[in-house]
């Protein structure tokens, strides 16, 4: 027979466990507006959420101090890597309302938002939900900032690039351009600089910024990285790929000044690599494989652009990293599993001939997109294009 005191203790313990599991993190609500030279962020902190914040604070602090620390943990960077300092206004007693008023430099095309808690408030998992409303277009979007260290982008009036687009500046993309009545393909790889940190040593960055001449300075490392990750072929024959240009681009796709005197935000800047691939056998379908995946980069959006046709999109993943292009279905991208060991190089004479044609009449160094070997990849499949896996 159960004793009442023991039963009561058990129920209390179960309630406490349930309470803990029901609150995996604290969520703070807010809103933001960006009008010309002013960014205004408004945050709301209710008494219940602040109770959790104060319970885990590393030092004994009062509610208003915790609110100020939380407000100061919101970081805003311009596209030139300058951190904006807001004027902070706090109102309230039990619950609080906070305004962060930022002066934005003229000409800023994008802003990056992050949550970076200091030592007193860093231990609690939390999210900020910031609602951005565009009254002109009647749109509404929620930006999520977490204590895990993510970032969100704001684009001026969101007129040029959609956050859900394959061309969004915070997402990588492989663009395939096919010329009409021509067997040549143009391949463009655009990769956010913040994601390139997953490959240490590729293009070193200083904190939240990258030097304007980084792509030029680290060109050799970028070449080696690309050789391992981008492969093309027709049938079971490798196709020569030659580089056309390596540049840094801004949030709206504009080329950035390649000078050591300039610095840019790693959150709004992308590395762009432009290349040309020549088909070997015109009657065969073309295959393009991208293998630049790791725990931070799980997907690679792919977009096919043909003259006179609407763009066609697909999504490559680590296990299905090969895109097939077939002239019989010109407006379709087929994603295939990526095989290993079925891909043979061209004969030396043919390779030289193809490279010569690829660079004829064009400028720049085009030396780094030939296929290479690396580590073992996934299990074999019917794909003839894959060489080796370098996803480490």
Indicate if the alpha-carbon torsion angle 246, 384, 346, 202 is positive or negative: positive
As a whole number of angstroms, the distance between CA 289 and CA 5 comes to 66
Tokens (6 digits) for 63: 């509610």
Q: Are 127 and 113 in contact (CB under 8 A)?
A: no
**Percent of the chain with pLDDT strictly greater than 70:** 73
Which one has a higher pLDDT value, 107 or 368? 107
Is the model's pLDDT at 316 over the cut of 90? yes
pLDDT at 371 exceeding the cut of 70: no
Q: What is the pLDDT of residue 61?
A: 87
Residues 129 and 152: their CA atoms lie apart, in Å, by 11
Q: Does the pLDDT value for residue 20 go beyond 60?
A: no
Residue 256 CB neighbours (<10 A) = 21
Cα 341 to chain centroid distance, Å, stands at 31
pLDDT tens digits along 120-135: 777 788 999 999 977 6
Q: Which residue has the higher pLDDT, 106 or 58?
A: 106
Residue 391, pLDDT > 60, answer: no
Mind listing the pLDDT tens digit for each residue in 193-224? 999 988 988 998 988 999 999 999 999 899 88
127: Cα within 13 Å, side-chain hemisphere? 11
Q: Sketch the domain layout of the chain as residue ranges.
A: 25-157, 173-359
The helix/strand/coil state of 204 is coil
What does the alpha-carbon distance between residue 158 and residue 141 come to, in Å, rounded to a whole number?
11
Here the tokens at position 56 are 């885990």
């Amino acid at each position: 027979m159960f004793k009442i005191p023991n039963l009561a203790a058990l129920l209390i313990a179960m309630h406490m466990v349930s309470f803990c599991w029901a609150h995996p993190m604290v969520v703070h609500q807010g809103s933001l507006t960006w009008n010309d030279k002013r960014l205004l962020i408004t945050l709301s902190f209710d008494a219940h959420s602040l109770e959790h914040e104060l319970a885990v604070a590393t030092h004994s602090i009062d509610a208003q101090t915790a609110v100020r620390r939380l407000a100061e943990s919101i970081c805003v960077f311009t596209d030139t890597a300058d951190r904006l300092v807001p004027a902070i206004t706090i109102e309230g007693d039990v619950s609080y309302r906070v305004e962060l008023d930022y002066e934005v430099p003229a000409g800023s095309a994008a802003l990056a938002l992050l949550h970076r808690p200091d030592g007193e408030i860093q231990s609690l998992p939390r999210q900020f939900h910031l609602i951005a409303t565009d009254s002109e277009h009647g749109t509404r979007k929620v930006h999520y900032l977490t204590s895990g260290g993510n970032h969100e982008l704001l684009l001026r009036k969101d007129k040029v690039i959609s956050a859900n687009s394959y061309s969004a500046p915070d997402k990588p993309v492989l663009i395939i351009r096919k010329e009409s009545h021509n067997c040549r393909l143009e391949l463009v790889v655009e990769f956010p600089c913040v994601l390139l940190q997953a490959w240490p040593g590729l293009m070193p960055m200083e904190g939240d910024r990258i030097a304007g001449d980084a792509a030029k300075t680290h060109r050799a490392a970028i070449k080696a990285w690309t050789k391992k990750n981008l492969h093309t072929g027709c049938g079971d024959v490798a196709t020569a790929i030659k580089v056309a240009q390596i540049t840094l681009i801004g949030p709206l796709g504009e080329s950035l000044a390649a000078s050591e005197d300039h610095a840019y935000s790693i959150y709004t800047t992308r590395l762009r690599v432009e290349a040309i691939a020549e088909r070997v056998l015109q009657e065969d379908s073309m295959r393009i494989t991208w293998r630049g995946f790791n725990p931070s980069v799980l997907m690679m959006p792919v977009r096919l652009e043909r003259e006179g046709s609407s763009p066609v999109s697909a999504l490559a993943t680590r296990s299905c990293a090969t895109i097939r292009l077939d002239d019989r279905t010109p407006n379709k991208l087929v994603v295939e599993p990526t095989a290993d060991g079925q891909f043979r190089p061209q004969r030396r004479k043919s390779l030289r001939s193809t490279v010569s044609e690829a660079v004829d009449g064009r400028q720049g160094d085009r030396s780094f997109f030939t296929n290479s070997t690396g580590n073992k990849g996934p299990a074999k499949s019917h794909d003839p294009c894959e060489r080796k896996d370098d996803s480490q």
